[in-house]
Structure 1
C-alpha cells in the first residue's frame, strides 16, 4: 500500500503547489486583477476534468501493464514542460479581456504536467482497488486532500517567504521527477492482471450509475466549486489579490473533502441544513456591507460560509458514491461539475450580467437543491432545522453590522422592528409546517410540511436573488468586466446644491462629483485641497507647464488641479472606468490642463515607455491605485519603484494614495524611500463632520531633495522624514508579504 499512498500524497501536493506559483507569475502581468486567479481556477478545474477523463479511458480500455507503460511514457514526455516558468509576458491590448491569454499561457507552460498530476487520484486509486479488491480506495482520496492542504498551507507561510519564484519553479520540477519515480514504483507493485478481471464480484454485479445519479454528482460538485470561485473573487476584491487569499478558500474547500470522505459520519445533514441559512445570510450580508467589516470579519465570515456549503455539497457526493468499479467515472463527473461551476463564475456570469451576482445566484441554487433533498427524503428533522436556521440568520445580521457592538441592544431592536414581517413569515411557515394547534407538534411528515419547506425555500431564493438582480436606486450605469464591476449612481437629495454622482468599484467609492454649477469643479472624496494630493498639486507653489502622470483614473478628480499649460496623463487599466468617467463626469472635460488617457496597466506602460525613451520625464507621478480595498501589490515592489524613479524628473515627486482601511502601506514605502535615499512626507487628512463629500485620506509624498518637500503647503500639514530615519520591508516581485502591513 505504501507506494500508492506516496504517489497519491505527492501528486496532490505538486498539483496544488503549482497553482500559486503560476498565479504569482501571471498576476503582475495582468494588472493584479482578482480575475487573474478566477481565470486560473477555470483552467485548473478544466485540466482536472481532462486528467480524470484520461484516467477513466486508460483504466477502461487498456490492460494493466499497458496502463502503466502509457502513463510513465507521458510523465517522462512532460519533462519538456519543466520548469513551469513563463517568459516575459506581453498582456496585449488592454481593451480586450485577457482571459484567453491567461488560459493560453497556462496551457503552454504547465498543461501536460498538470493534467497527468490531476489523473493521479482516480488512476492510482483504481490501481489500488485492483491490487487490493477488498479494501476501500476512498480513504486514499482523503489522503490526497491532505497532500493538497499541506501544499496550500506551506506556500504562503514557508515557500513564498523563503524562495524566489525561479527557485519555486525549479523545486517543483524536481518534485515532478520524483513523482514519476514513485509512479514507476506503483506500477511494479501492482499485480500484473487486467482491470475488469481484478474487480471484486460484488462490484461486478453492481449496475452502472444512471444519468440521473451522474447529474446529481454534477450539480453538487458544480455548486461547491462555483461558491469557491465566487468567495475567492469576493475576498481578493475586498482585500488584496495575494496568494494567501487565493489559497485560504481552497484550503477550506479541501478540508470539507477530507471531513466528508475521510469519515463515515463526517456529514451531518440536519445540523448543516440550519447552518446553511445562517452561512448564506452572513456571506451575502458581507458582500453588500463588507466595507464596514474588519479583515477578520471578512475572512472569517466568508470562509465559514464556504465551509458549510462545502460540507453539504461534498457530503451529498459521498452519500451517493458508487462502488469502486465506477470510481473513475465518479471522479470524472465531479471534475466536470467543478469545471462547470468555475466556468459560470469566470466567464458566463460576467457575460450574462452587468453586475456581480455570483454569490447570491449560487447560494440560491444551493438553497434550492437542499430544499429539494428535504422534500425528496421527507426528512422532518432537516425541515425543522431549516426553519430554526432562518430565525438564527435573521438574528445574526444586526450583530454583523454593529461593528464594535456599541449600542448593541438598540441596533438589534431596530433591525427586528424593520424586519418584523420577514420574521412573522418565517415563524408562521415553521408552525404551519411542523406544528398542529390541536395535537401538539407533529412527529411525522405531513403535507403541510412539504408546503412549509417549499414556501420557505422559494421565499429565500426570491429574497436573495431578487435583491441582487434589482439595481440600486438611482443607478445611472453599470459595467462589469475582467477587472470587476463599476457602478455610477446619483446621490438622492432634495437639495440641488448637495446633489452628487458617485463611481464605485465593487463596494468601494472611487470618486464623487458635485453636480451643482457652483461646485462642479470642487475636488471631493480623497482629493480635498487639504489632502496630500491637494497640497502636492497646490497652485500656490507650482510652476506653469507641469508634466503630471497619474496611475488610476477614477472619475478624473485630479484633473481639477490642472493649470493652463499642464499636461496630465492618466493610466487606467479598466476601459469601463474610462468610458464612465468621460461620459458621466465632467472633471476631465472641464480641466484647464491638456488631458491624455492611456488604457493599460500603469507599471507596464511606464516600463515600456522607459525602454523606448519616447516620452518626457514626469514632474509629479501619482500612484492612485490603492484607495480601493484591493491592493495591487505589484505596483509597490522594488522593480516597480525603480521604473518610477527612472521616469521621474530630478526635482520631481512621487505621490502615493495609501488610504486603506485594512492595510497600512506606509512601512513598505518607507523601506523603498530609505533604499533610494529619498525624503518622505506623510499627510493625513480628516474631513469636517458635516462634509460628507470629503473622505479621510492618507498620502505619502517622496522626493530626492529635502527642499522639494520643504514648501508651506506641505510643512503646514506634516514634518519631513529623512531617509536614515525610515524603516520598513521592501517588497519585490519575488517576495511580498501582506501580513507585515495588516492593520
Structure 2
C-alpha cells in the first residue's frame, strides 16, 4: 500500500505547489491584477478536467497493467516540457477578455502536459488501489492527496517563496516531478501482482456490479463542484482586491477549500449537517453585511467573516458530494463529473460574470445558490430537524450582523441601539423571519417529533427568496446617483454623482473597489480643483508646486484615475499617463473634464506602466521625466511588481538627473514606506516623507501620505517641501527589500 500512498501524496504535492509558483511568473505581465489568479484557476481546473477525462478513458478501455505502461510513457513524454519557466507574452490590454485567454495560452504551453499527467494520476492510483485492495475504501486516498496539496500550499509562502528564486523553484519542481515518475513505476510494479480476474477493463465487470450513477447524481456532482470552485475564485478575488494579488493571499482561500475536501472525504464524522445547516445563513449573511462596510471595518474582522463563510459553504458543497459518492467501480466517472463542475464554476467567475454584469455580484449569487441547493436537498429528504436549524441560523444572523457593523461610538449600548434602529427601519425583514418560524413550526420538544408538511416546504422557499432578495437583489440594485458602471478583467469601475445646492459640494466620484479613484466638483467655477489625494497641501502638490519649477516639464504618471493630476499641468508641459484598464481610460475622457481642461499637452498610453517605461528606456531619444508619479492602486491592493528594486531601476533610467520620483503610499493595510526606504538606501536617493491632514471643512481633500525620492538632494531641497518636512529618512522604520524574485507581504502588513 505504501507505494500508492507515496505516489498519491507526492503527485498532489506537486500539483498544488506549481500553482502559486506559476502565479509568481504570470502576475507582473498583467499588471498584478487580482483577476490574474482567477484566470490561473480556470486553467488549473480545465487541466484537472482533462486529466480526469484521460484517466476515465484509460480505466474503461485498457486493463490495469496496460494502463500503467501507457501512463508511464506519457509521464516521460511530459518531461520534455520541463522546467516550467514561461516566456513573457504580448497581452492586448484593450480587450477586457484577452488577458484571460492569454494567461490560458501561456500556462498551457508552459505547464500543460505535466499538470494533466499529475491530475490524472490521482484517480488512476485510486482505481488501481481499489483493484488490489477491494476491502479498503479508495476515497481515503483522495483525502491523502488533498493533504499533500495542503502541505504544498502551507510550505510555499514560508519556506519556498522567501528562499528560492522563481527559476530555481521551477528547476526544483522539475526534479520532484522526475521523482514522482519513479513513484509511479513503484506503484505499477505492485500492480503487476494483481490477480488475473482483475486484468480486464472495467467494462467487463461482474454482473452484480453496482448500477451506473443516475443523471440526477451526475448533475449534483457537477453543480456542487461548480459552486465550490466558483466560491474559491470569487472569494480569492474579493480578498486580494483589498490587499495585494500575491500567492500568500491566494493560499488562504485555497487552503480552506482543500481542507474541506480533506475532512469530508476522510470520514463522514467531520461533516455534521446540523451544525453546518445552522452556520450557513449565519456566516453568509454576516459576511455579506461586512462587505457593505468594508472600507471602515477592521481588516481582521473582514478576513475572519469572509473566510468563515467560505469554509462553511465549501464544507457543505463537498460534504453533499461525498454523501452521494458512487461505488469504486464508477470512481473515475465521479471525479470526472466533479472536475467538470470545477471548470464550470471558475469559467462563470472568470469570463461569464464580467461579461454579463456591470456589478460584482459573484459572491452574493454563489452564496445564495449554495443555500438554494442545500434547501433543495432538505426538501427531497424531508429532514425537519435540519430545516429548523436553518431557520434558527437566519434568526441568529439577523441579530449578529448588525452587532458586528462598525459604529462611531464603541460599546455594547451603541450596537444594541443600532439593532433596534434596524428593526424599526426593516420591518419586512423581521416579518419574513416570523413567517419562516411559523411555517417551519419551530418548537421545543415535543414539537420536534412533528412531521414534514407543506408549510415546511413553503417556509424553506420563503427562506431562499428572502436570501436572494437580501443578497443578490441588493448587489444588483444600482446605488443612488450612479452614472455608469463598467466591469472588466481589472475590476469594477463606477462613476457616481452627488448633487447638492452648495457649489462646493456637488461632485462626481470615480470608484474602484473600496478606493476613490478621483473626485471632480461639478460647478464650472470649481471643476479644475485638484481633489482627494492630490488636493492643495498634499505631497504631490508640494512637489509640483515647488518654487524652482520651470515651464515645459515632462511629467509621467502611472495610474490615470479620473485624470485629476492634469489639473497641475501648465502651458508647455507634457503629461504622459500610463493606465492598464481601458474602462478607466474611457471614463476619464467621457465622464470627467480634467484631461480636456488642462493647459498641458496630454498623452494617455494604455498598458502596464512598468512595461511601457521599459520599452521607453530602450529609446535613447525619448525625453526623460522631470517628475514621475507612481499611483497605480486598485482599491487598497498593491501591484507588487511596480514596487520592486528592478522596477525602481527602470524608473530611475527614465528620470531626469534632477528629477523627482513621487509615490503615493496612502494605504490602510500595508506600510509601503519601508519598501521605499530600502530602495532609497540601495540607490543612494534622497527621501522626503510628505504627510497631509486637511481641515475637516475641506471634504474633497483626503488625508494622504506621499514619499518623494530624488537622485540629487537639491531637487527636494526646496522651501515648498522642506517647510513641511525634513529630508531625513524615517529612522524608526527598518527597510524591507522587494525584488522580482522575492517580495514578502508579511513584512509590511500594518
Bucket of the pairwise TM-score, normalised by the shorter protein: over 0.9
How far apart are the structure 2 equivalents of 1:630 and 1:288?
18
Alignment match, 2:32? 32
- Worse-superposed segment, 500-509 or 490-499: 490-499
Alignment match, 2:190? 189
Q: For the Cα contact (< 8 Å) 2:85–2:170, is it kept in 1?
A: yes
Distance 1:142 1:199, change over 3 A: farther
Distance 1:549 1:145, change over 3 A: same
Please tell me whether residue 674 in structure 1 is matched to residue 678 in structure 2: no
How far apart are the structure 2 equivalents of 1:37 and 1:89?
16
Alignment match, 1:80? 80
Alignment match, 2:704? 697
Aligned to 1:478, the other structure's residue is in SS state strand
- Structure 2 residues without counterparts, runs of 5 or longer: none
Alignment match, 2:135? 134
Please tell me whether residue 224 in structure 1 is matched to residue 224 in structure 2: no
Alignment match, 1:249? 253
Alignment match, 2:209? 205
Instruction: Using the TM superposition, give the Cα deviation of residue 295 of structure 1 relative to its aligned residue in structure 2, in angstroms.
Output: 2.7
Distance 1:509 1:401, change over 3 A: same
How far apart are the structure 1 equivalents of 2:646 and 2:442?
67
Instruction: Using the TM superposition, give the Cα deviation of residue 698 of structure 1 relative to its aligned residue in structure 2, in angstroms.
Output: 0.5
Please tell me whether residue 609 in structure 1 is matched to residue 616 in structure 2: yes
Please tell me whether residue 546 in structure 1 is matched to residue 553 in structure 2: yes
One of 519, 531, 545 as aligned partner of 1:512: 519
Q: Deviations over 1:17-72 (max 9, x none)?
A: 01111110010011101111000000000100000001110011001221011000
RMSD: 2.0
Instruction: Using the TM superposition, give the Cα deviation of residue 722 of structure 1 relative to its aligned residue in structure 2, in angstroms.
Output: 5.6
Please tell me whether residue 54 in structure 1 is matched to residue 58 in structure 2: no
How far apart are the structure 1 equivalents of 2:160 and 2:446?
64
Q: For the Cα contact (< 8 Å) 1:499–1:516, is it kept in 2?
A: yes
Aligned to 2:552, the other structure's residue is in SS state coil
Alignment match, 1:707? 714
Alignment match, 1:63? 63
Q: For the Cα contact (< 8 Å) 1:239–1:630, is it kept in 2?
A: yes
Q: Deviations over 1:222-272 (max 9, x none)?
A: 111100000001011111101011111110000001111112211111111
- Worse-superposed segment, 651-660 or 272-281: 272-281
Alignment match, 1:160? 161
Aligned to 1:680, the other structure's residue is in SS state strand
- Worse-superposed segment, 224-233 or 201-210: 201-210
How far apart are the structure 2 equivalents of 1:270 and 1:315?
12
Q: For the Cα contact (< 8 Å) 1:476–1:490, is it kept in 2?
A: yes
TM-score (norm 2): 0.96
Please tell me whether residue 502 in structure 1 is matched to residue 503 in structure 2: no
- Worse-superposed segment, 424-433 or 584-593: 424-433
Q: For the Cα contact (< 8 Å) 1:273–1:386, is it kept in 2?
A: yes
Alignment match, 2:238? 234
Q: For the Cα contact (< 8 Å) 2:147–2:262, is it kept in 1?
A: yes
Q: For 1:352-367, list aligned pairs within 5 A.
A: 352-367=356-371
Q: For the Cα contact (< 8 Å) 2:61–2:203, is it kept in 1?
A: no
Alignment match, 1:178? 179
Distance 1:438 1:602, change over 3 A: closer
Q: For 1:613-692, list aligned pairs within 5 A.
A: 613-626=620-633, 628-692=635-699
Distance 1:522 1:304, change over 3 A: same
Aligned to 2:293, the other structure's residue is in SS state helix
**Count of paired positions:** 743
Q: For the Cα contact (< 8 Å) 2:432–2:466, is it kept in 1?
A: no
TM-score (norm 1): 0.97
How far apart are the structure 2 equivalents of 1:634 and 1:294?
27
Alignment match, 2:152? 151
Instruction: Using the TM superposition, give the Cα deviation of residue 437 of structure 1 relative to its aligned residue in structure 2, in angstroms.
Output: 12
How far apart are the structure 2 equivalents of 1:445 and 1:247?
42
How far apart are the structure 2 equivalents of 1:197 and 1:62?
5
Instruction: Using the TM superposition, give the Cα deviation of residue 402 of structure 1 relative to its aligned residue in structure 2, in angstroms.
Output: 2.0
Q: For the Cα contact (< 8 Å) 1:11–1:120, is it kept in 2?
A: yes
Aligned to 2:485, the other structure's residue is in SS state strand
How far apart are the structure 1 equivalents of 2:289 and 2:237?
16
Q: For the Cα contact (< 8 Å) 1:259–1:266, is it kept in 2?
A: yes
Q: Deviations over 1:141-169 (max 9, x none)?
A: 10000000000000011100010001100
- Structure 1 residues without counterparts, runs of 5 or longer: none
Instruction: Using the TM superposition, give the Cα deviation of residue 496 of structure 1 relative to its aligned residue in structure 2, in angstroms.
Output: 4.3
Q: For 1:396-411, list aligned pairs within 5 A.
A: 396-402=400-406, 406-411=410-415
Alignment match, 1:109? 110
Aligned to 1:498, the other structure's residue is in SS state coil
How far apart are the structure 2 equivalents of 1:741 and 1:661?
11
Alignment match, 2:125? 124
- Worse-superposed segment, 614-623 or 186-195: 186-195
Q: For the Cα contact (< 8 Å) 2:512–2:634, is it kept in 1?
A: no
How far apart are the structure 2 equivalents of 1:435 and 1:132?
48
How far apart are the structure 2 equivalents of 1:262 and 1:601?
45
Q: For the Cα contact (< 8 Å) 1:277–1:386, is it kept in 2?
A: yes
Aligned to 1:245, the other structure's residue is in SS state helix
One of 453, 456, 464 as aligned partner of 1:449: 456
How far apart are the structure 1 equivalents of 2:306 and 2:558?
31
Instruction: Using the TM superposition, give the Cα deviation of residue 95 of structure 1 relative to its aligned residue in structure 2, in angstroms.
Output: 4.4
